[in-house]
Amino acid sequence: MVSVPFRLSIINYLNAAPLNHGFKQGLGGEHFHLKFHFPSTCADRLRDGEVDAGIVSSIEYLRIPGLRIVPGLCIASPKRVRSVVILSKVPPEEIRSLALDTSSRTSVVLAQLLLRERYGVSPAVMDMGPDLPVMLAANDAALMIGDAAMRAPKQGLFVLDLAEEWHSWTGLPFVFALWLVRQDAPKLPVPGGVAPFFHKSLELGVAQLPAIVEEARRTIGWTKIELHEYLTENISYTLGEAERESLGMFFEKAVRHGFAPAEKPLRFL
């Protein structure tokens, strides 16, 4: 047995639910101590050494030293994501002010990269809570993320799906988040160490997808068909060759625009 528990940060967004599912159901309960956070808080706790691993916005891999990536797993979108959107009162090329839901730091960077490089605008930005009417009362557009974005009314607004925009631009999927582990995390006294637990947790989540969909239906309001499509078509959990290529491209652009200190190679557990 390890002398200290492995502290795992869990985010309660729907897109992470299959990755988290096994851990929330007690997988490796003798090893793991679960903490529940927003994605941005998860990154801060990881940087400060208050947790040993978490599903973290991919941009944070460049910002936090000494992290390793769990191989093969991520939260990506092959094309259209539906839960990371800019909702705007004006066409994208006319956006002069943008409210940012700062829950996910990768999406904040991606939104600004797309507006700068695809639409030629660099709007003033304002950090705000995910309340669309309040955001749009003071700004031309709002970045909405996660379950709040899925629930937001979109009638009469221009909708930019950020993963769809990235795919149209690059032909690649977009990687929103990674399982990241600190170098000084406790070593688990089991064959293969900690990595297999992350894969097993997702395996259990995929097996229990109907239960995840049913729970989400009550809180988000989409139909079961829409939610199943979201978790199986809009979101992908495989970190493959195309996803790694996309990460490299995103990291290069993020550094060039000053959103991260420097590029670094992908290092895995």
Q: Are residues 88 and 165 in the same domain?
A: yes
Q: Take residue 238 and report the two structure tokens written for it.
A: 């495989």
* 101 backbone dihedrals φ, ψ, rounded to 5°: -75, 110
Q: Are residues 163 and 89 in the same domain?
A: yes
What's the number of domains the chain is made of?
Answer: 2
Question: What confidence score (pLDDT) does residue 71 get?
Answer: 97
Q: Are residues 69 and 113 in the same domain?
A: no
Question: What confidence score (pLDDT) does residue 113 get?
Answer: 98
User: Long-range contacts for 253-259 (Cβ within 8 Å, ≥24 apart)?
Assistant: 253/113, 253/117, 254/59, 254/62, 254/109, 254/113, 255/62, 257/109, 257/112, 257/113, 257/116, 259/59, 259/109, 259/112, 259/113
Residue 208 in any domain: the answer is yes
Q: Are residues 88 and 164 in the same domain?
A: yes
Residue 231 in any domain: the answer is yes
Return the CATH number at 88: 3.40.190.10
Across the chain, which has 269 residues, the per-10-residue mean pLDDT values are 80 92 95 90 94 96 97 97 97 98 91 98 96 97 92 95 98 97 94 95 97 92 94 97 98 98 96
Domain end among 140, 170, 200? 170
* Contact of 82 with 162, CB cutoff 8 Å: no
**42 CB contacts (<8 Å, ≥6 apart)?**
9, 11, 51, 54, 55, 56
Q: Are residues 188 and 132 in the same domain?
A: no
Strand partners of residue 109: none
Domain end among 170, 200, 231? 170
pLDDT in tens, 167-186: 999 999 999 999 999 999 99
Residue 264 in any domain: the answer is no
Q: Are residues 51 and 64 in the same domain?
A: yes
Q: Are residues 132 and 196 in the same domain?
A: no
Domain end among 170, 205, 226? 170
User: What is the value of pTM for the model shown?
Assistant: 0.95
Range of the domain at 51: 6-76+174-256
Question: What confidence score (pLDDT) does residue 2 get?
Answer: 43
Q: Are residues 201 and 249 in the same domain?
A: yes
Residue 268 in any domain: the answer is no
pLDDT in tens, 65-82: 999 999 999 999 999 999
Residue 50 in any domain: the answer is yes
Residue 245 in any domain: the answer is yes
Q: Are residues 61 and 21 in the same domain?
A: yes
Q: Are residues 97 and 203 in the same domain?
A: no
Q: Are residues 190 and 237 in the same domain?
A: yes
Q: Are residues 65 and 180 in the same domain?
A: yes
* Contact of 105 with 60, CB cutoff 8 Å: yes
Question: What confidence score (pLDDT) does residue 3 get?
Answer: 62
Residue 262 in any domain: the answer is no
Residue 266 in any domain: the answer is no
